[in-house]
Amino acid sequence: MLAAEGGRIAERTRLTHAYLTEGFDWPALGLAVVPHHHLFGQAPRPPGREPPRPRRRREECLDLDEGDTVVHAHHGIARYLGTREVVREGIRREFILLEFREGERLYVPVDAAELVQRYVGVGGETPSLHRLGGRRWTRQKGEVKKAVCALAADMLRVQAAREASAGIRHPADTPWQREFEAAFPFADTPDQAAATEVIKSEMARPAPMDRLICGDVGYGKTEVAIRAAFKAVEGGAQVAVLVPTTILAEQHGRTFAGRFADYPFLVEVLSRFKTPGEQADILRRTASGGVDVLIGTHRLVQPDVRFKNLGLLIIDEEQRFGVKHKEYLKRMRTQVDVLTMTATPIPRTLHMALLGIRDISNLTTPPPGRMAVRTEIVRFDRDRIRDAVRRELARDGQVYFVHNRVRTIETMAHLLRDLVPEARVEIVHGQMRKKAVRAVMDDYVRGEVDVLVTTTIIESGMDIPNANTLFIDRPHELGLADLHQLRGRVGRFDQRAFTYLILPRKKPLTETQEKRVRAVEEYSELGAGFRIALRDLEIRGAGNILGAEQSGHIAAVGYDMYCRLLQEAVATLSGGRPKAVPETVSVDLPLRATLPAAYVPALSQRMDLYRRISKAPDPASLDALRRELRDRFGPPPEEAEQLFQLARLKQRAAPASVGSIVWGDGDVYLGFASEDDAARFASGNGFETREVRPGTLRVSPPADRRDGKALLAFLLEGFEKGRAPTP
């Protein structure tokens, strides 16, 4: 940039790489040192303090606790009892212990952890356990397989229609685009950078984009959307931003206008804060192409709103729009690029995203310095409320008090004024005049109000860094996504924030209400929005997907197994193999392949790693996992290295249609699904094999390669030497 300016400034400036928290001036030397983040307004990132790695796996939402209901891929629904160590042939091994009906137990090797997933049903119902070896599981899986075939065919038709549609092909990145992104005043998280790149690549394709950005409040969804909007506008298209509330529309208007200030693009907001004359003028200019970005509430989906060249539709919090609005948006999706932002996707959207009907980008990396909001469930207690408000005021903070009943909100505000007389208490709700709402909100933003008693009108869009204590009165009357969104109003910066869910003193809750409130308290860690959405899916059900009632099938086999069967059906109808569902190879060799508790102490972390290792699709993924393990826990011990080698052996064996590798009597027995598979393998592999029975081959390793470690190396060498027959 200095070179482009030319002249003496560039000649007299020296650029160097260093990390400084502040700049300084040294007059005696005629020297001024200016750090990069002061020049560009970016938050500095100390060396060696990269943000946490993004986690984009569905498995992270399915962590297991002892007593959880789980699904074993081959045997059905069981209860998870943790892990147990068992000594066999002098070797100590770790197994996953499952309990089936009538107390039957199954020990699953940890290297086969991909066979076990937490059960997620619908409606919160607890399913009955299956008999170990019984026929009911096989029958239910067969029924679901038949049902998902028709759904898979519909999915493929929808996908094909979308790919065939003629959308707008936006141009490649320009110097303006790169300059605009570099001006973002904070360092991108890895998730933000990845989401930005995939969205821009999809906008460059002729087929319409339909992508969901899922991330907690404050995780940078809006900035990703702003960059997409800039790309569309610079290419000559218009952008519509649909938001659920007037307050959020106003905030987005300020944010977009601030980011676009240095460029010749016009941003307008269409909301009830505008007079009828102002609205008519905005609509006229939008129809003629004079407005580049139009931000608005439900007003945007009215028939009189017309665009000259709409190229991108951004939807913030889709769950806040009704059926009619969604049908209107559904028609638009076939014509323009659509970007949907949400912290907690509704069950239907989450389900479609996880099944691949909707593309999804997860923002799970918290901004630097962000702390989780401490969440507590309490009964209504005046002393507790008074103490919490005074504690927040003592650190010069502000308080939200959500009371979602307009009829009694004045009474609640009066109570708070009595409890904390020194606090400045004001009220805001959706039935107030728009000027009164704006005046109160402006006072709150300026810090002239200590306690804001409000309805859920603040659920979306309020970004007040000084507000870090939140009370939600009668939370059981609100939805799970609403509660999570409200909690996102606090803790947006580096202050520890508190949320209190206030239940009535005596009134009992229904089972569903209790599950909903407990879920908000349980999932209070950073990035919990996706987990809460999955819990909401379990409580409420997935709903109608493409017009087919699927909830009964999900209840029968669990959500994860349902997804696997649907993915298999889609792959089969597409003429391919189901890439997302790895083939299982059963391995029983005399070696200790495990993650010792002394190396990875937390059982939940070990289970997560076992699943990830066993489901790794290729050697590169295993290598990445090994590097992560070394980074988190130190150099892996021999048992952990053997676990990785065992996973690599399975990767080699699966393409050759090997179903089992078993050690016995000094030999290795390879089991195949059919005699033809065994014959193909025998004709082109790196071993000397003998058939012992149809579909089973015997391999005799050398005498010096029969202990566990040497045997594993021998088998890997043999599979790598042989050519993998095409199934």
The CATH number given to whatever domain includes residue 440 is 3.40.50.300
Q: Which of 329, 363, 397 is a domain's end point?
A: 363
Structure token digits, residue 566: 């649907």
pLDDT tens profile 688-717: 888 888 888 888 888 888 787 888 888 888
Q: Is 104 helix (H, G, I), strand (E, B) or coil?
A: coil
Do 474 and 604 lie in one domain? The reply is no
Could you tell me the CATH number of the domain that includes residue 80? 2.40.10.170
Residue 489 — very low, low, confident or very high, per pLDDT cuts 50/70/90?
Answer: confident
Over range 396-405, report the average pLDDT: 92
Residue 621 belongs to some domain of the structure:
yes
Residue 577 belongs to some domain of the structure:
no
| Of the listed ranges 3-12, 66-75, 311-320, the one predicted with least confidence | 3-12
Could you tell me the CATH number of the domain that includes residue 716? 3.90.1150.50
Residue 268 — very low, low, confident or very high, per pLDDT cuts 50/70/90?
Answer: very high
pLDDT at 188 over 70: yes
Residue 708 belongs to some domain of the structure:
yes
CA distance 176 to 328: 33
pLDDT tens profile 111-139: 888 888 888 765 556 788 988 888 888 88
pLDDT tens profile 569-599: 766 776 655 443 345 788 888 888 889 889 9
Residue 676 belongs to some domain of the structure:
yes
Rounded mean pLDDT of the chain?
A: 79
| Of the listed ranges 179-183, 487-491, 517-521, 621-625, the one predicted with least confidence | 517-521
Do 345 and 411 lie in one domain? The reply is no
Over range 641-663, report the average pLDDT: 88
pLDDT tens profile 607-616: 888 888 988 8
Cα–Cα distance list, 207 to 156, 199, 225, 336, 355 (Å): 15, 13, 19, 9, 20
pLDDT at 317 over 60: yes
Do 355 and 386 lie in one domain? The reply is no
| Length of the chain (residues) | 727
Amino acid at 509: L
Main-chain phi, psi angles of 282, to 5 degrees: -65, -45
The per-residue pLDDT for 607 is 84
With beta carbons less than 8 A apart as the criterion, state whether 177 and 144 touch. no
The per-residue pLDDT for 725 is 40
Q: For residue 106, what is the DSSP state?
A: E
| Of the listed ranges 221-230, 482-491, 541-550, 676-685, the one predicted with least confidence | 541-550
Output the 3-class SS for 316-381. ECHHHCCHHHHHHHHHHHCCCEEEEEECCCCHHHHHHHHHCCCEEEEECCCCCCCCCCEEEEEECC
Residue 169 belongs to some domain of the structure:
no
pLDDT at 196 over 50: yes
Do 210 and 318 lie in one domain? The reply is yes
With beta carbons less than 8 A apart as the criterion, state whether 558 and 71 touch. yes
In the chain, helix, strand, coil percent, each to 5? 45, 20, 35
Do 349 and 203 lie in one domain? The reply is yes
Give the structural domain span for 232: 175-363
pTM of structure: 0.56
The per-residue pLDDT for 106 is 92
Residue 324 belongs to some domain of the structure:
yes
Do 354 and 380 lie in one domain? The reply is no
Main-chain phi, psi angles of 79, to 5 degrees: -115, 135
pLDDT at 521 over 60: yes
CA distance 595 to 408: 57
Burial environment of residue 49 by CB neighbours within 10 A (0 to 12, 13 to 18, 19 or more): exposed
Share of the chain above pLDDT 90, in %: 19
The per-residue pLDDT for 6 is 64
Q: Which of 309, 335, 363 is a domain's end point?
A: 363
Over range 150-174, report the average pLDDT: 70
Do 378 and 507 lie in one domain? The reply is yes
Q: How many domains does the chain have?
A: 5
- Comparing 293 with 73, the larger pLDDT belongs to 293
